[in-house]
């Protein structure tokens, strides 16, 4: 999967998160979780795009760290949606799986970038 594919995948993730946030009930729980999930879920793609524009390998690695944090935070908020049962588990689970996959992909990408940084040329 190349950068272009990951840019699109993280954008689609953000759009799916926003759609799910719109489905949350207007309760205190729904608004609180929705705000946090919306912030984290849209930050994944925005920060990945920033990583792609990094001026150095170290900056790229650092920005990938932010992407990983935001994807993992998205998974956390999705777990709360499931745990509070404010939406059906079946509705949320595919998005939680995508957050987990993005976290894993970005973690591996950061490890590869760190390894390449340490390898003498």
Give the separation between CA 66 and CA 51, rounded to whole angstroms: 9
Tokens of 9: 């995948």
Options 1.25.40.10, 1.10.287.370, 2.60.40.2580, 1.20.1440.60; which CATH number does 3-114 get? Answer: 1.20.1440.60
> Which pTM value belongs to this model?
0.94
| Displacement of CA 37 from its chain's centroid (Å) | 10
CA angle 89, 90, 91 (to 5 degrees): 90
> Per residue of the chain (121 residues), what is the pLDDT tens digit?
799 999 999 999 999 999 999 999 999 999 999 999 999 999 999 999 999 999 999 999 999 999 999 999 999 999 999 999 999 999 999 999 999 999 999 999 999 999 998 876 6
pLDDT at 85: 97
Closest alpha carbon to 50 in 64, 68, 36:
64
């Amino acid at each position: 999967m190349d950068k272009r594919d990951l840019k699109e995948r993280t954008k689609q993730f953000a759009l799916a998160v926003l759609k799910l946030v719109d489905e949350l009930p207007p309760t205190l729980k729904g608004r609180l979780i929705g705000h946090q999930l919306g912030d984290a879920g849209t930050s994944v793609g925005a920060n990945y795009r920033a990583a792609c524009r990094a001026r150095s390998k170290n900056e790229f690695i650092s920005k990938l760290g932010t992407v990983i944090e935001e994807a993992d935070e998205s998974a956390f908020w999705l777990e709360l949606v499931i745990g509070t049962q404010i939406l059906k588990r079946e509705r949320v689970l595919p998005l939680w799986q995508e957050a987990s996959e993005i976290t894993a992909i970005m973690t591996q990408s950061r490890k590869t970038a760190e390894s390449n940084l340490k390898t003498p040329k």
